[in-house]
Amino acid sequence: GNFDLAVNGNITQAAATSAIKIGGVTTINSNSGDITLNSATNDFIGSVQLTGGSTSIVDANNLLLTSISSTQASVTTGGNLTLSGTINAGSGTISINVNQEFALSPNDNFTMQPGSSIVTTNDSTSAIEITVNSLLGGAGNATLTSLSAGTSGGRIVIDTNSGAILDGNAASLNVTANSTALRALAGVGTASDPLELSVNTLAAIGGSGGVFVTNSKDLSLGQVGATAGLMTTTGNIDVRVNGSLT
């Protein structure tokens, strides 16, 4: 059945070895309290909506996330992660890790459904960090709609390792921030549907799939964290800028 919990304080899973399994819809509201549901064996089968302070959730399998409204957000899944609504962390950081149990389902994906978004005003170099597939393997993709971080110093890093980073909202902006690093060995955007950016600095690795992006303003190609410039193996590079390119 469904699980609906509302408290005025912190909600913490008793032990990392305990497990929560809910077959229906999960709705948790801690007001300003923190929410920590971090057991690696949790299984939220229905959709999940979380409202609180600093919020962290782990699901061993697939997760359908309706929304998170928090002061900081962390989401980890062993399988697919589908976002149907909004993750809004206020001025806090957002960390998403998907397909961390790749050996079971090597192609589990991170999918932002049409109309969904990931939002923070955080201006740090860890404003939004998204990783799909573990370092040991996996070829799941990240399909993006709208992500935005602080435009003075906010950094958005998306790394799918052996997967691709794809556009999920046609010609609308995908990434708004001061800088972004995009790493996807199966390609960043496609020739027919590039990623739309509004950033000051870009670094991207596109592997065999290439790098296909547009930027709405002046753009510098440079070092963004551990990623520098533009690089592919056999893929093409197509960068279009509405302004100057340095």
How do residues 164-220 score in pLDDT, each as one tens digit?
Answer: 999 999 999 999 999 999 999 999 999 999 999 999 999 999 999 999 999 999 999
**pLDDT tens profile 118-165:** 999 999 999 999 999 987 778 999 999 999 999 999 999 999 989 999
Give pLDDT tens digits for 7-41: 999 999 987 678 999 999 999 999 999 999 999 99
Q: Where do we find the tokens 């691709």?
A: 164
CA distance 156 to 221: 15
Amino acid in the structure at residue 240: R
**Average confidence score pLDDT of the chain:** 95
State if pTM tops 0.85: yes
Q: What is the pLDDT of residue 105?
A: 67
**Secondary structure in 3-state letters for 97-157:** EECCCCCCCCCCCEEECCCCEEECCCCCCCCEEEEECECCECCCCEEECEEECCCCCCEEE
User: Residue 101 has what pLDDT?
Assistant: 79
| Residue 187 or 105, more confident | 187
Res 22: pLDDT: 97
Task: Tell me the percentage of the chain whose pLDDT exceeds 90.
Answer: 91
